[in-house]
Chains A and B, each alone.
Chain A
């Protein structure tokens, strides 16, 4: 091999090694950071036959059950129930709930499944919109309309 070719080969293989390493690292990191989305009934009954493992990190989306929010009197710990169309699960959270957290409204929580029907949430999200329902949940709850009567006729569409 002449030196120029050799140099090129060296450059190309170096690039390949770097790219392969990068992709490997990326996939590994990705595999650890994907959170699967469940609805409360999917956590209890399983999603396509697969139940989430206790200890698994996941995202759950559901409607907060009316009257289920219980605050600890001395700290910021809070418990509430989530529901879609089937059984309920309980979510515990430490901290300040988002501005739009209300009973009867859709939220998404990310956290760990600590018992079969209990989630320790690290993050609770409610969108800045009163009518918000997570799209995944809306899909799971097809048939249940979540439209305010006051909305009808106001907008053109």
Chain B
């Protein structure tokens, strides 16, 4: 019964979305306050009905209602209750329901937190979100209904959740990632609304900045979590595989990062307007493309869901509609967008152009590498695959100039920067980073070019960031007063950049100094790797709620002292009849010790995989720092001051003047 109610509730949500797509947009066009006022209640309605549908499906999982096909395919009575609840997004249909739920959460958030935005503009934004929502809800109801029943013949027990997904990382990874993906639909809606209104001014940039930041923070955390989960769950010890689905989440992130920077320029300097709009549109289109790649079954990857041609076609049509429609609107309106600001060759604007070009180039590289195998196959040229070395190589080439500009950007002034002052700073940063990296590199046992390059890059960022902060606080005379004066959004930038530096160290160290050995071991055997001794104590049978298996007990010694005791498991999930490796990891700030149990060999011996991964935690720590930086920026009073200022005066001119004057004052002490 509840399943039918859930289905019905989804239909109602679709109806609400249709109304949301019509009334407010129409009202904004005609200037009718009554019609525009429908936007907020409709948005809340969409959310409530979706939330109820989500609750119904969760309940079906909790109660083990195997008459619902989706529950029967993704759950089992032996599954612990918390995994039963997270199994809701363990398959295609349910994860799309989560997607839609998150979409409605964003819509409600826009409706609730945008009281400062003129109601005409808000009505348009919500209307566009409604329009996008219609596409999502139609897709769900027509092509992937999670409430379908298996009646009258339903199974006694379910087929269990994919064992890969029975993990804590999986509980939070998809919701975070979806928050990021879907968050870009808000940014998209703001851009389209501004295009319709024909008013792409810096107020638009200021309004969409916090939403972009929020979506970007979620996406950053989601991707980092996914990487961490793959590292510990897939048992290969890798943290990034250039898997098509990883790429699908990485592309919106790259474009989103470019968008964050270009929005800053549009807000502060009123330039790059049309480019910023284009980025906002592409970020969302790439999110949709990701969905298409994952859900159409067109790609083979660890993430892909069961293939069904209708699903693929539907998303492809939606994708075409969104891309075509928004680009058409863009083409019609873009000529009207004139940038007023002027700037010189050496200026912060130019650095940020460089940032945007490099990030777009990186997106293109990933897009090409991901889609080329598809295109090749569709053209009948045979199956190919693009290897990870391609991406690795390209990203090294792109990261070096990117980091070079990253240090220069914050040190430069808007409009024009004196070359000699910048040169002095850079020379110092260059000297410090190269000599420090060389000292560290030569001091270590084995010299590696890649690791040294990584060190140079991250120390370069570090030194330049410190210089920039000092430059900012120098004017106020006393150090603490100066530090206090810095805004949270400035600290956000500093943390974001430092996070990137930390991540580069992690990546450079892991790729250069990782050591791995696949070994054959019998109980009592021990091996030596990077100064650690791994001794296999024994392999014992294992019994879990819905699996059986073996556990290898491994003691680790360093310099004759026992360091840790690891238990690496090999599980056999009885219902899905699949084998899973649960790696055991000794976590450390400067190295991870990683043990994974392989297959059983003859005479009691086992195959084991042992890794020493230096600095791997730094990769995720860097991502976390970036996300914290994003949160700091988000907490900046500026976004709320804009609200107050707006309430005080309805015209934007004085407000803008004030903001840029404030910017000038801040820069004046340089």
Which A residues from 1 to 31 make CB contacts under 8 A with B?
Answer: 7, 10-11, 15, 18-19, 22, 25-26, 29-30
**Is B393 an interface position by the 8 A CB rule?**
yes
Which A residues from 21 to 48 make CB contacts under 8 A with B?
Answer: 22, 25-26, 29-30, 32-37, 47-48
Chain A residue at minimal CB-CB distance from B148: A156
B601 partner residues in chain A, CB cutoff 8 A: 71
Chain B residue at minimal CB-CB distance from A97: B599
Which B residues from 642 to 668 make CB contacts under 8 A with A?
Answer: none
Chain A residue at minimal CB-CB distance from B607: A96
Check B599 against A18 for contact (C-beta < 8 Å): no
Check A15 against B357 for contact (C-beta < 8 Å): yes
Q: A83-107 CB contact bits vs B (8 Å, 1 = yes)? A: 0000000000011110111000000
**Is A116 an interface position by the 8 A CB rule?**
no
B372 partner residues in chain A, CB cutoff 8 A: 30, 34
**Is A135 an interface position by the 8 A CB rule?**
yes
Check A37 against B384 for contact (C-beta < 8 Å): yes
B64 partner residues in chain A, CB cutoff 8 A: none
Which B residues from 426 to 444 make CB contacts under 8 A with A?
Answer: none
**Is B290 an interface position by the 8 A CB rule?**
no
**Given known A95-B518, A156-B148, contact A29–B579 (CB-CB < 8 A):** no
Tally B residues with Cβ within 8 Å of A: 51
Check B578 against A130 for contact (C-beta < 8 Å): yes
CA distance A37 to B150 in the complex (A): 39
A145 partner residues in chain B, CB cutoff 8 A: none
A33 partner residues in chain B, CB cutoff 8 A: 386-387, 389-390, 393
Q: B78-96 CB contact bits vs A (8 Å, 1 = yes)? A: 0000000000000000000
Chain A residue at minimal CB-CB distance from B163: A128
B302, B394, B519: the one within 8 Å of A128 (CB): B302
- A75: shortest Cβ distance to chain B, in Å? 6
- B241: shortest Cβ distance to chain A, in Å? 11
A11, A35, A134: the one within 8 Å of B384 (CB): A35
Check A25 against B384 for contact (C-beta < 8 Å): no
**Is B447 an interface position by the 8 A CB rule?**
no
Q: Which of B46-54, B247-255, B266-274, B361-369 contacts A (4 or more CB under 8 A)?
A: B361-369
**Is A136 an interface position by the 8 A CB rule?**
yes
Tally A residues with Cβ within 8 Å of B: 44
B581 partner residues in chain A, CB cutoff 8 A: 99
B519 partner residues in chain A, CB cutoff 8 A: 76
- A124: shortest Cβ distance to chain B, in Å? 12
Check B382 against A30 for contact (C-beta < 8 Å): no
CA distance A102 to B393 in the complex (A): 34
B350, B383, B598: the one within 8 Å of A36 (CB): B383
B357 partner residues in chain A, CB cutoff 8 A: 15, 18-19
Check B599 against A96 for contact (C-beta < 8 Å): yes
Check B518 against A10 for contact (C-beta < 8 Å): no
CA distance A43 to B578 in the complex (A): 31
**Is A149 an interface position by the 8 A CB rule?**
no
Check B150 against A156 for contact (C-beta < 8 Å): yes
A75 partner residues in chain B, CB cutoff 8 A: 520
Q: A141-154 CB contact bits vs B (8 Å, 1 = yes)? A: 00000000000001
**Can you give 27 A-B contacts (C-beta < 8 A)?**
A10-B345, A11-B345, A18-B357, A19-B361, A25-B394, A29-B393, A29-B394, A30-B369, A30-B386, A32-B389, A33-B386, A34-B385, A35-B387, A36-B382, A37-B385, A59-B383, A76-B518, A95-B518, A96-B599, A96-B608, A99-B581, A127-B300, A128-B580, A129-B578, A134-B300, A136-B383, A156-B69
Chain A interface residues (CB < 8 Å from chain B): 7, 10-11, 15, 18-19, 22, 25-26, 29-30, 32-37, 47-48, 59, 71, 73-76, 94-97, 99-101, 110, 127-130, 134-136, 154-157
3 smallest CB-CB distances across A and B, nearest first, come from A37-B383, A33-B390, A96-B598
Known: A32-B389, A130-B578. 6 other contacts (CB 8 A): A33-B390, A35-B385, A48-B382, A110-B385, A128-B164, A157-B308
